[in-house]
Amino acid sequence: MKYSVESVKYEIKITKQAQKDIKSLSPKQKEKLKWILSDLISEDPYKGKKLLGELTGNYSFRLNIRDRIIYSVDEKIKVIYVKRARAHYGQ
């Protein structure tokens, strides 16, 4: 007997600050961001690193060697809020 577990994809919402960040990314980085959000984070938002301190309640996922995607998850309504797309720790 086979069991099928249907994964629930989370909706992605982009904040104004993240939209500004995305505009400054290269086309290659924009593609990578799109892939990370649609294929990884929307499938399992807890793949990211749980943040502490001022950023408690948020998660981080590496976009490149320098930049991170910062996001939060609303589990009740299955929405991910992308807050930054070019965040550097400490800024």
pLDDT in tens, 18-42: 999 999 999 999 999 999 999 999 9
Check if the beta carbon of residue 87 is closer than 8 Å to that of residue 69: yes
Q: Does domain 11-87 have CATH number 3.90.100.10?
A: no
Q: State both tokens at 86.
A: 């070019």
> In the beta sheet, which residues pair with residue 40?
none
- Per-residue pLDDT band at 66 (split at 50, 70, 90): confident
Quote the Cα angle for 59-21-74, to 5°: 35
pLDDT of residue 86: 85
Integer Cα distance of 78 and 76 in angstroms: 6
Q: Is the pLDDT of residue 65 over 50?
A: yes
Domain ranges of the chain: 11-87
pLDDT in tens, 5-22: 456 789 999 999 999 999
